[in-house]
Structure 1
Amino acid sequence: MPTTADSSPANATTTAADSGPLAAVLAPATTSAALHAVDLATGAETGLHADRPVVIASVVKILFALEFARQADAGQLDPADRVRVTAPDRLGGTGTAGCLDDVELSLRDLAAFMMTVSDNTAADLLCDRLGLANVRSLVAELGLAGTLVTGSPRTVVEAMAEDLGGRLAEASAEDLARTRAYRPGSTNTSTPRDVTSLLSAIWSDRAGSAAACAQTRALMSRQADWHRIAAGFDDDVLVSAKSGTLPGLRNEAAVVEFPDGSRYAVAVFTRLGTPYRRRPDVDAAIGRAARLAIDELRGQ
């Protein structure tokens, strides 16, 4: 039967949830994990440490995408406005963040790069245009009491580099854990339940106008990464998702829509014992855990 999600804090001792089926799927690949899933039609829920504060990494970009869509729909910005991405803007990585030359594109294309390939430079520039105060106001408006937005990806990377004295490449999992970027409350932070509440509001047009919510859903449906939650479902199931990754952290939040019309929001956050970037076992475990949680809600 679907259950009320566990609400133990991050430093809690072992609870019944730690030995349940969700924990059994995630424990072999992670040192800690938290998950929440909810049926968007009935509100039935299940989870593992659903109210535990977690570092959300690029899952924060869902909020940036939503605020962009709201401002565009309200006429507060022109999505066709052009932005030039230059060398000082680039962080390295995917999309414009890894370009070798300057590029120019629209705000709406920045949003697309941010959501499809998790382009960090696109997120930085878009957040600058949106205004961090407006993103924080959105969090308050939506009643996401467990969510804190400290800044864009550059803010996170700069804090990590400062805390490590510039030794990012050599950092161990223990070194990383001591940085602000890995401490909930000192970086972009939420809870699995807050994230599924955000997704529920977007999918029910309660997070803004119908047009703004539809645009955010469309952006999430275009994510290029299908290794995590989507990997747990068949091709006829639509998964609209946003991943979040830092060395030693692998997360994803998604809405899963079945051919019968049923829809489920699910958010999975994991912490690993190593900073290694290539962990297909963790990606697969995230997909299996999401599938297990949703199967429980579907009575399967």
Structure 2
Amino acid sequence: MVEERIREVFARAGAEGLLHAVPVGTWSPGEAREWSPGEARKWSPSEAREVAVGADEPVVIASIFKVLLVLEFARQAAAGQLDPRERVRVTAADRLGGWGTAGCADDVELSLRDLAFFAMSVSDNAAADLLLDRVGLDTVRLLAKELGLDRTRIVGGPRDVLDSMLSEVGAGDEREFAVRYPALPDDRKRRLAVLDPLRTNASTPRETSELLRLIWRDEAGAPEACSHVRDLMSRQAFRHRLVSGFPDDVTIAAKTGTLPGLHMEAGVVRYPDGGCYAVSVFARTHELTATRPTVDAAIGVAAAIAVDFLRSEGV
């Protein structure tokens, strides 16, 4: 049974895994092979099949929330509600550490659309916070409801998540947090709100895949907006999870998410024959570390098992 095989993959990696995979359509013959803005698409019907392993359980989505955020930005840009070329300055007060502008030593200035690029391509937390300030937290929440993602909850951006961690640990800043957090017992770390799907940005594997399906079928907004999100997801720099499970000729557009003990990625897998499949994978480990290569590899293997099953069934 495919679900049992997937559970065994995660068990061997020392993790518990949840997964949802579903077809999103098939490329018509002769259609362009790149995900690029403005590209026209035709989808052929597919059977209503899926692979589901705990697909309706609540999960922390961490940086995967940036897909919904960037979608709202792209929708507002397509509707003329904001100018994607609008300039934004990223200052020392905005930086959270990490990739992109979040780790810069000096102030930088860039456009809203470049904030979206950095938020998606390298999971830039400072860029995501500034983009969220511009498009509005309430509008992102309303977008989830509009799309029928009733179990998806957005409580805030990366700064809100960090502030909650600092507060719970009793740290005044990131440096103090870096000292206090490692000294906490593991059971205390596991009680942090950031790791609890009932108290932080959360969804389910099924709703995460549904969001991607809607985007890939131009059903999450104007085609221009959906195309923009697809393009940005195809430019993600991190290739150690979903990508690791598939052959070189398979193209993947995705978004990762990582927190201590939580490893996840959601994306759309496209085969040379045109078949496209949305896959959402969430893994939880006993060890509260942010780097686990064996778990990252298991995410890719599990996704490949799920997609291979869908393809073998003629979807």
Give your verdict on TM over 0.5.
yes
Match of 2:117 among 112, 116, 126: 112
Determine which of 265, 282, 286 is the counterpart of 1:269: 282
Answering whether residue 88 of structure 2 is matched by residue 83 of structure 1, we say: yes
1:147 is aligned to 2:160 = no
The match for 2:8 among 20, 24, 37 is 24
Query: Residue 15 of structure 2 contacts residue 295 of structure 2 at CA under 8 Å; is this kept in 1?
Result: no
Is the contact made by 1:240 and 1:255 (CA closer than 8 Å) also made in structure 2? yes
Matched, 1:34 2:18: yes
Per the TM alignment, residue 44 of structure 1 is displaced from its structure 2 partner at its CA by 1.0
Map residues 38-187 of structure 1 onto 2, 5 A cutoff: 38-41=22-25, 42=46, 43-166=48-171, 167-187=180-200
Superposed displacement of residue 172, structure 1: 4.9
Tell me if 1:197 matches 2:197. no
Q: Equivalents in 2 of 1:249, 1:106: separation in Å?
A: 31
CA contact (8 A) 1:91 1:121 kept: yes
Partner AA of 1:113 in structure 2: F
Alpha-carbon distance between aligned partners in 1 of 2:256 and 2:75, rounded to the nearest angstrom: 22
1:220 aligns with 2:204: no
Cα offsets for 1:224-244 (capped at 9, x unmatched): 000000111112111000000
* Percent pairwise identity: 55
1:173 deviates by: 4.1
Confirm or deny: 8 A CA contact 2:263 2:290 kept in the other structure: no
Offset, 1:39: 1.2
Residues 69-112 of structure 1 deviation map (CA, whole Å, 9 limit, x = unaligned): 00000011111001000011101011111000000010000000
Q: Give the Å deviation of 1:169.
A: 4.2
Confirm or deny: 8 A CA contact 1:248 1:271 kept in the other structure: yes
Q: 1:250 to 1:80 in 2, by over 3 A?
A: same
Name the SS for the 2:109 alignment partner. Answer: strand
Shift in alpha-carbon separation, 1:205–1:173, aligned structure 2, 3 A:
farther
In the alignment, structure 2 segments of 5+ residues that lack a partner are: 26-45, 172-179
TM-score (norm 1): 0.92
Report what 1:13 is aligned to. Answer: none
Unaligned regions of 5+ residues in structure 1, if any? 3-16
Is contact 1:40–1:265 with CA below 8 Å preserved after alignment? Answer: yes
Q: Which residue does 2:29 correspond to in 1?
A: none
1:230 paired with 2:214, answer no
C-alpha distance in 2 between matches for 1:173 and 1:294: 35
Q: Is the 8 A contact 1:57 1:244 kept in 2?
A: yes
Q: 1:251 aligns to what?
A: 264
Where does residue 278 of structure 1 map in the other structure? 291
Distance 2:97 2:257 in 1: 16
Letter in 1 for 2:291: R
DSSP-derived class of the 1:290 partner: helix
Structure-2 change in CA distance of 1:102 and 1:169 (3 Å): farther
How many pairs were matched up?
A: 284
Letter in 2 for 1:219: L
Does the 8 A contact of 1:173 with 1:273 survive in 2? no
| Aligned twin of 2:174 | none
Normalising by structure 2, what TM-score?
0.87
SS at match of 2:113: helix
> Using the alignment, how far apart are the partners of 1:276 and 1:229 within structure 2?
19
Report the Cα offset of residue 164 of structure 1.
1.8
CA distance in 1, matches of 2:123, 2:187: 26
Is the partner of 2:312 in helix, strand or coil? Answer: coil
